[in-house]
C-alpha cells in the first residue's frame, strides 16, 4: 500500500480563498448552502444541479472543494468512483457528501469510495464550518492500494492493544506496531529516507 500526499489546499484558514462547488438537484438546497458559504467568507461559490454540469465546472472553474448530494437523483457513490480514478487529474479534490442516509453502512460506503467528509441532513452552519475546518486544518494522507484511493480512512480511536496495534507515537521506529522494535536502519527503513513524505498529525493516537 502506498501513501500519497495530496497537493496543498489553497482554501486558506478564513475560507476567503475557498471556491466550493455545490452539486444538488434542488435549487432551494443549493441557494441555502451557497448563502451559508458566502457568509463564511467564500468569495466564489459555484453550483449546479446535474452531474454533467458538475464535471464541466470542475474542468473549467477549478473548485477546491466539492459538496455533492447523495440521493435518488444523484449517485454520489458512482461520481466518487469516477473522480478518484487513477487517470483523473482532479482525483485529489476534497469531497463533502451531503445525504439523508444516516446509517453506518451508508457512511462507510461513502468513506470507502473516497469521500473526505460526510454531512447528514439536516445540517447546520456549524456542521459546514466543521467539515471545512477538517479539510483545511487536518488534511489527511491520500491512500493508494487494495483497489482504494482516497483520504486515509483511519480516524477512530479504538482501544485495541494486540500485537498488531499501530503505534503512531512510536513513529521514529521502523515498525511502529512494537515499542521495542528498535530504530531499524536497513534498506526497508520507512522513516528518514530521502524523499519519504512525512505523516500528518503524528502525535494523534490513532489505531
Lowest pLDDT segment from 69-78, 85-94, 154-163: 154-163
89 pLDDT more than 50 = yes
At 173, is the pLDDT very low, low, confident or very high (cuts 50, 70, 90)?
very low
32 pLDDT more than 90 = yes
Lowest pLDDT segment from 87-91, 99-103, 168-172: 168-172
d(CA 60, CA 77): 23
At 11, is the pLDDT very low, low, confident or very high (cuts 50, 70, 90)?
low
Mean pLDDT (whole number) for 173-185: 47
pLDDT score, position 165: 55
d(CA 151, CA 153): 6
At 103, is the pLDDT very low, low, confident or very high (cuts 50, 70, 90)?
confident
185 pLDDT more than 60 = no
3-state secondary structure 76-124: HHHHHHHHCCCCCCCCCCCEEEEECCCCHHHHHHHHHCCCCEEEECCCC
Of 36-50, 140-154, 166-180, 188-202, give the range with the top mean pLDDT.
36-50
Mean pLDDT (whole number) for 127-133: 92
Report the DSSP pairing between strands 20-23 and 46-48.
parallel
Does this model's pTM top 0.85?
no
Average pLDDT, the chain: 78
Amino acid at each position: 500500500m502506498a501513501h500519497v500526499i495530496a497537493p496543498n489546499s489553497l482554501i486558506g484558514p478564513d475560507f476567503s480563498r475557498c471556491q466550493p462547488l455545490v452539486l444538488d438537484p434542488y435549487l432551494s438546497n443549493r441557494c441555502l448552502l451557497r448563502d451559508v458559504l458566502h457568509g463564511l467568507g467564500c468569495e466564489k461559490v459555484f453550483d449546479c444541479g446535474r452531474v454533467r454540469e458538475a464535471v464541466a465546472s470542475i474542468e473549467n472553474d477549478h473548485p477546491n472543494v466539492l459538496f455533492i448530494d447523495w440521493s435518488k437523483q444523484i449517485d454520489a457513490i458512482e461520481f466518487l468512483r469516477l473522480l478518484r480514478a487513477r487517470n483523473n487529474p482532479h482525483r485529489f479534490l476534497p469531497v463533502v457528501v451531503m445525504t439523508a442516509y444516516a446509517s453506518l453502512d451508508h457512511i462507510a460506503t461513502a468513506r470507502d469510495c473516497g469521500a473526505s467528509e460526510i454531512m447528514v441532513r439536516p445540517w447546520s452552519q456549524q456542521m459546514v464550518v466543521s467539515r471545512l475546518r477538517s479539510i483545511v486544518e487536518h488534511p489527511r494522507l491520500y491512500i493508494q492500494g487494495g483497489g482504494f484511493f482516497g483520504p486515509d480512512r483511519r480516524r477512530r480511536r479504538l482501544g485495541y492493544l494486540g500485537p498488531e496495534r499501530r503505534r503512531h507515537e512510536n513513529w521514529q521506529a521502523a515498525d511502529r506496531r512494537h515499542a521495542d522494535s528498535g530504530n531499524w536502519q536497513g534498506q526497508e527503513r520507512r522513516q528518514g529516507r530521502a524523499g519519504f513524505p512525512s505523516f500528518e498529525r503524528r502525535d494523534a493516537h490513532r489505531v
